[in-house]
Amino acid sequence: MKARVAAKVDADYSAERALIEAAQRERGRFADLYEANFERVYAYVVRRVRDRDEAQDVTADVFHLALKSLPRFEWRGVPFAAWLFRIAANEIADRSKSIAKRRAHEREALFETPDEHGGVAAGFEEAERRGRLFKLVERLPRDQSRVIVMRFAEQKSIREIATSLARSEGSIKQLQFRAMQNLRVRLGDSNG
């Protein structure tokens, strides 16, 4: 029985190694690795992120990074999914650090709001409004939030954002559209 299990494991590793080598030779073959590992990676991410949209974005980024890094991947007899899990863990950690930095920066920016009438009350009202908006932007899925910050706070063009995030202009426009829809819904909820 043990010999049969060991033979199956060896066959599985051989098949996986063949898929990896084929994808390294021909990028189009990466789809086979994607199909074989998507559910495991998504399940891993969604347990840690707990937001469906963000989990989808993180999972997409994991496979994008894996495809980009595949030529440097070296087979060491460990399941390919372990490498994908490591990429996912790093991506989740990077996103957490980025969110923490953005929150600190936004808190600083709140107190730099000038009062156009010289009064303290108007300045606080503007700071509160910005604070609510920043919190709503923070709650967006990471990629949507990143696009909104880059587009409106950093005043970058769609093309600049696409280049910076290594995505198509169409996907950036879609992320911005989805983010604006989410913000409208959330603004309606917070005003009601």
8 A C-beta contact, residue 80 and residue 88: no
Does any domain span residue 105? no
Global pTM reads 0.52
Q: Which two tokens stand for residue 105?
A: 């920066």
Amino acid at 132: R
- Same domain for 135 and 72, yes or no, is no
User: Secondary structure of the chain: what % helix, strand, coil (to 5)?
Assistant: 85, 0, 15
Task: Give the model confidence (pLDDT) of 21-38 as tens digits.
Answer: 999 999 889 999 999 999
- CATH number of the domain where residue 20 is located: 1.10.1740.10
Query: Which residue, 133, 168, 163, 167, is CA-closest to 149?
Result: 133
- Same domain for 62 and 118, yes or no, is no
Mean pLDDT of 164-183: 87
Does any domain span residue 45? yes
Does any domain span residue 173? yes
Does any domain span residue 174? yes
Residue 69's domain comprises 1-94
Mean pLDDT of 108-127: 58
Q: Is the pLDDT of residue 156 over 80?
A: yes
- Same domain for 81 and 118, yes or no, is no
Number of folded domains in the chain?
2
Does any domain span residue 118? yes
Mean pLDDT of 140-149: 88
Does any domain span residue 108? no
8 A C-beta contact, residue 1 and residue 65: no
Does any domain span residue 68? yes
CA distance to 27, 185, 189, per residue, from 10 (Å): 25, 52, 55
